Chain A
Amino acid sequence: MLAIDNYLILSAIMFAIGTVGVLTKRNAIVIFMCIELMLNAVNLTFIAFSRYLGNLDGQVFVFFVMTVAAAEAAVGLALMIALYKNRESIDVEDVNLMKL
Chain B
Amino acid sequence: MESIFFLVVAAVAVISSILVVTCKNPINSALSLVMTFFCLATFYVMLDAPFLAATQVIVYAGAIMVLIIFVIMLLNVKAESGKRGAHAKTAGSVIGLFVLFQTVWFLMRGSMTGARGTIDKAQIVSYGHVELIGRELFTTFLLPFEITSLLLLAAIVGAVILAKKKI
Q: Do A and B bind each other?
A: yes
Interface residues of A (CB under 8 A from B): 1-2, 4-10, 12-27, 29-30, 32-34, 36-37, 40, 43-44, 47-57, 59-60, 62-64, 66-75, 77-82, 84-86, 90, 93
Q: In the complex, which residues of chain A have a beta carbon less than 8 angstroms from the beta carbon of B20?
A: 17, 21, 30, 33-34, 37
- Map CB proximity to A onto B117-155 as digits: 1 under 8 Å, 0 otherwise: 111100000000000110011001100100010011011
Complex A-B, nearest 4 residue pairs according to Cβ-Cβ distance, in ascending order: A55-B117, A23-B92, A20-B96, A71-B155
Q: In the complex, which residues of chain A have a beta carbon less than 8 angstroms from the beta carbon of B116?
A: 53-55
Interface flag for B8 (CB, 8 Å) = no
Bound-state Cα–Cα, A6 to B3, Å: 9
Q: Are B17 and A37 in contact (CB under 8 A)?
A: yes
With A17-B20, A19-B96, A78-B163 known, 12 other A-B pairs at CB within 8 A are: A2-B3, A12-B107, A15-B103, A16-B103, A18-B21, A20-B95, A21-B20, A21-B21, A29-B77, A43-B40, A55-B119, A81-B162
Q: Say yes or no: A90-B158 contact (C-beta < 8 A), given A24-B89, A59-B52.
A: no
Interface residues of B (CB under 8 A from A): 2-3, 6, 10, 13-14, 17-18, 20-21, 26, 29-30, 33, 36-37, 40, 43-44, 46-49, 52, 55-56, 59-60, 63-64, 67-68, 71-72, 74-75, 77, 80, 83-84, 88-89, 91-93, 95-97, 99-100, 103-104, 107, 112, 114-120, 132-133, 136-137, 140-141, 144, 148, 151-152, 154-156, 158-163, 167
Q: Are A56 and B133 in contact (CB under 8 A)?
A: yes
Bound-state Cα–Cα, A30 to B99, Å: 20
Bound-state Cα–Cα, A37 to B43, Å: 15
Q: Are A2 and B48 in contact (CB under 8 A)?
A: no
Q: From B22, which residue of chain A is reached at the shortest CB distance?
A: A21
Chain A's nearest CB lies how many Å from the CB of B7?
9
Bound-state Cα–Cα, A36 to B21, Å: 12
